[in-house]
Amino acid sequence: MRFRLSLASTTVVAFVSAVAACGSGDDAGGYPSAGKQSTATAATTTQRTTASPAATGPSAATGATRAATTLQLSPVGTFDSPLYVTDAPGDTRRLFVVQQGGKISVIRAGRTVRRPFLDISRLVTSGGEQGLLSVAFAPDYARSGRFYVYYTDRDQQQRVVEYHRASAERANAASARLVLKMSDREPNHNGGQLEFGPDGLLYIGTGDGGGADDQHGSRGNAQNLSSLLGKILRINPRKAGGNPYSIPAGNPFAGRSGSVRREIYSYGLRNPWRFSFDRGGGALVIGDVGQNTIEEIDYVAKGGGRGANFGWRPFEGTQRHSPGESAPGAIAPVIQHTHDDGYCSITGGYIVRDSTLPATIQGQYVYGDFCDGRIRAARLSTSGATDDRALALKKVSSLSSFGEDARGRVYVTSLDGPVYRLTAG
């Protein structure tokens, strides 16, 4: 995230103060390379999504009223700074909860197992935006026992590491194998999402290297194809030919020579805090944390993320951030929220495919914001977003992440400890 993770409330205050001091461009502009239609759609969506519930019209209010009688947040458990929830392929009995300090806990049959699945606390730098940030289980986990974690190490570098399970509820800590290490000069903007896509490959979200204004390098990292930062990467994480991973032949820059990083799948991101693939159609949706003006949700149809440029740092949302810089082919966000309206750090979620939830929420994208705390829903397409509104659910304090299990059930985490599941009321 931008991301206000911490292990103590005083850290949260300090971090929010630091974010408030960050600068941003004030030169008005749009996405000229994305075309007039995309710019108009983004502008309309921004007006719609930043309006108060009372100003969004009868249809949005009616949707919120329906949600109040049919949806609820059901407690799952309480943890130490939870950041992510998922399950493992082939195992519907257990959930895995990632905690920032370096532990992954198991929930079995509604109860938290006392001993953690994995504890790498001694390897992790935790606090602020650093820590153990996510886990992804390989599609063949039931057979291979492979899974991957993304964390900030003791040298404050970002690591993707492979482990193997020892048993259903215990990892083999001695099986660690380094897959990827990324140098990072700053403690913030670390990305941290790992996700196996519909193609079975591992996608990795990385932040732009931190500080403010994507400050490292002449044009920053996000638009620099020689840097892994400010990107979504795609790799096959298994060892190949003496290398720790291999580059899929279908990657957009796989055929490039020179300094271009062939791991890059998408670029032009500031700090993608939670991206997901729609299990119903393969669309890629990204929550990208803004500088200090705009929070955004990006959406592309299945396969549309290949080589996609999402515009940072030339643009923050659809506003010009860095005058004179270009973002070739930049894709405009489908949703924008402003800091003036109380948003501060977007938290990307999931398109709902849980068949136990009411029809009124099916196929809609749920997401939130760390400061705003409301869970929102909208219907997304490449043309923009419709019916974007806050659901009539209680606010989630310090909303740190969403998660999804193999049955499509959606989870919500609070940095303050609680984990919830979105259920029918």
SS3 state at 208: coil
Domain of 110, in residue numbers: 9-424
pLDDT for residue 218: 87
Mean pLDDT by groups of 10 residues along the chain of 425 residues:
41 36 34 35 35 31 44 97 97 97 97 98 96 98 98 96 98 98 89 97 96 90 97 98 97 95 98 97 97 97 98 97 96 98 97 95 98 98 98 97 97 98 95
pLDDT at res. 217: 85
DSSP class of residue 330? P
Residue 1 included in any domain: no
User: Cα separation of 13 and 416, whole Å?
Assistant: 14
Would you say residue 330 lies in a domain? yes
Q: What are phi and psi of 69, to 5 degrees?
A: -100, -5
The helix/strand/coil state of 346 is: strand
Tokens of 311: 């515009």
Domain CATH code at residue 131: 2.120.10.30
CB 146 within 8 A of CB 157: no
Residue 275 preceded by cis peptide, ω within 30: no
pLDDT of res. 11: 38
Q: Is residue 44 part of a domain?
A: yes
- Tokens representing 378? 């909208």
- The number of domains in the chain is 1
Looking at the domain assignment, is residue 170 inside a domain? yes
Provide the residue type at 208 as one letter: D
Is residue 3, in this structure, part of any structural domain at all?
Answer: no
Task: State pTM to two decimals.
Answer: 0.87
- Asked if 189 and 207 touch (Cβ cutoff 8 Å), the reply is yes
pLDDT the model gives residue 174: 98
Distances (CA, A) of 355 to 267, 351, 358, 363, 377: 34, 12, 8, 10, 16
Contacts (Cβ under 8 Å, ≥6 apart) of 21: none
pLDDT at 425: 87
Residue 2 lies in a domain: no
Residue 102 per-residue DSSP state:
T
Angstrom distance (rounded) from CA 310 to CA 302: 16
Would you call 41 helix, strand, or coil by DSSP?
A: helix
Predicted local confidence at residue 169, as pLDDT: 98
**pLDDT at res. 187:** 84
CA–CA separation, 392 and 72 (whole Å):
9
Token pair of 141 as six digits: 């986990």
Under DSSP, the state recorded for 224 is: -
Strands, E assignment, 236-302: 264-267, 272-277, 284-288, 294-300
Residue 310: helix, strand or coil by DSSP? coil
